[in-house]
Amino acid sequence: MKRILLQNLFLSFILFLSFLSFSSVANGLELPFLKADISVSPEIRPLFIKGGRLILYITRQQNKEPRNGFDFIVGVTPKNWDGSAPFTIDTRKGDVLNAELEKGFVHPSRKYYFQVLYKQNSDDGEENVPGNLYSQVDTVELETGVNLKLTLKRMIPPYEIIIHKFVRPVVIKSNLLSDFSGHPRYLRASVLLPSGYFDHPGKTYPICYRAPGLNGRYDGVNSLLHDRTFSDWWFSGNAPQVIYVCLDSQGPYGDSYQVDSENNGPCGKAFTEELIPEIEKQVGYKASTRMRFLAGASTGGWVALGLQIFYPDFFDGTWSYSPDPVDFEHYGLIDIYHDENAFYNRFGYLQPESRTVYDEPKWSMKECITEENVLGKSNNYLTSGCQFGAYNAVFGPKGKDGLPTLMFDPLTGKIDHAIAARWEKYDLKKILEKNWATLGPRLQGKIWIWAGDMDGLYSNVATRFLKMYLDNTENPRSDAKITFTPMAGHCQEWSDKRVVIMVAEKASKK
């Protein structure tokens, strides 16, 4: 019986290989390739900056621009391209990377939508940000080889903050960050004032700094006011009287995490010594009232908790939802200090990067980094502007080439433990363990954390271990409130309304 089963399995495998071979020959897909001639329109050429990254987005979805939702992606950094003549992206060349493009050729009769973006803003690691150029959307049916002609015709404009009596945009030049980078850099925030603000001149209100999710921008206030349920409540007179500040996380390698780093510069110092004083001067906040709070979810959750720990006396409380890993021995499911590889776990299986609330893996670390490699100007995730590119820039040291160092190899996943050890100064659990005698008393009554126990990025694992540590602290015993909801996903219970209510309740006890 066992022998027959093995024979059937072998036959099935041979038939599968034959099917693949037939499909390739029948569709002429032995060497599928894609070529795209990229031009810069005359009207946009004066805005073109050499040295950027060309990213070609491909999708089967017709309800959005490919750059805002893609199925496949191709990337290359043109050498010495000045935009005066077309540049050809050819996927057969070794310096052109792609993420699973071959899957697009499985259904050559389908219609695909294409769009190209030129990532040239050196102060912002993301691609869909002001200053970058992009083309209109084109559509073709994939064949063995595809030749496209796309033209960069538009520049992404600066963010616009809603014009509203109760909204106050704050944009200042940062001397600290400008000196670090050798050119002007700016800090941004948008302030949402409480409904009674203009009725009580001179009154000091509690103020809460809301850190956005990964690569979020200060135009988050627009979403708040466009949310009819929230805005009606905010101006109803029933909402607590709190000043709510939407922060901006722009950084040259992606999200800055609002902390000092070797690669992004003194972002924490600039935030606390330049931006916050300017905001609080404009709104009349008095620091002596001790009502300065933090809140955020996901990346913003890490920022809110991290800033409270790094500046325990400056901030008076934090609300952190689904924070990014707060313990790097549980960096998702990776122990960066002891594991050998970020792509494969100790059992030899692909390391998952994300999952559903039913614990079904959706995407592997290897797939995630393959995509980030495509986005990076350096042909790896170092300059992707995405999650792991941002992590390296924030937590890791600067390399000899002036770029951030890679904590793990972009192709093999092998972890560099010498670099991983340098991340320790941002490992929030280790910071608390090493400094509890001095930090513990200053953090009493200031930490509130929520996580879903089916967090889609496995961040709840690190939060669990942080809770285990804090539950066993002494002198003082931590009073941090850390709660978990069974079967809840990443940021599932985040609510601006609930945060504002909790902030007001905390402030009322001052």
pLDDT tens for the chain, 510 residues: list them: 444 344 444 333 333 333 333 233 333 334 467 899 999 999 999 999 999 999 999 998 888 899 999 999 999 999 999 999 999 999 999 999 999 887 766 666 678 899 999 999 999 999 999 999 999 999 887 665 678 899 999 999 999 999 999 999 999 999 999 999 999 999 999 999 999 999 999 999 999 999 999 999 999 999 999 999 999 999 998 999 999 999 999 999 999 999 999 999 999 999 999 999 999 999 999 999 999 999 999 999 999 999 999 999 999 999 999 999 999 999 999 999 999 999 999 999 999 999 999 999 999 999 999 999 999 999 999 999 999 999 999 999 999 999 999 999 999 999 999 999 999 999 999 999 999 999 999 999 999 999 999 999 999 999 999 999 999 999 999 999 999 999 999 999 999 999 999 999 999 987
Cβ atoms of residues 262 and 288 within 8 Å: no
SS3 assignment, position 214? coil
- At position 352, the amino acid (one-letter code) is P
- CATH number for region 167-327+427-508: 3.40.50.1820
Bridge partners, 481 (sequence order): 448
Q: What is the pLDDT of residue 377?
A: 95
Which residue blocks in 102-141 are alpha helix, DSSP H? none
Bridge partners, 37 (sequence order): 88, 149
Domains 34-155 and 167-327+427-508 share a fold: no
The structure's pTM equals: 0.92
Q: What is the pLDDT of residue 23?
A: 31
Domain spanning 34-155, CATH architecture? Sandwich (2.60)
Q: What is the pLDDT of residue 1?
A: 43
SS3 assignment, position 55? strand
**DSSP 8-class letter at 310:** H
Q: What is the pLDDT of residue 110?
A: 75
Q: What is the pLDDT of residue 28?
A: 35
- How far is it, in rounded angstroms, from Cα 491 to Cα 463? 13
Cβ atoms of residues 119 and 247 within 8 Å: no
Which of 30, 52, 90, 19 lies closest to 378 in space, CA to CA?
52
Q: What is the pLDDT of residue 145?
A: 65
User: Where are the domains positioned within the chain?
Assistant: 34-155, 167-327+427-508, 329-425
- How far is it, in rounded angstroms, from Cα 417 to Cα 434? 20
SS3 assignment, position 479? coil
HSE-up (13 A, CA, CB side) for residue 469: 18
The number of beta carbons lying within 10 Å of the beta carbon of residue 350 is 15
**DSSP 8-class letter at 271:** I
Cβ atoms of residues 231 and 224 within 8 Å: yes
Q: What is the pLDDT of residue 12?
A: 39
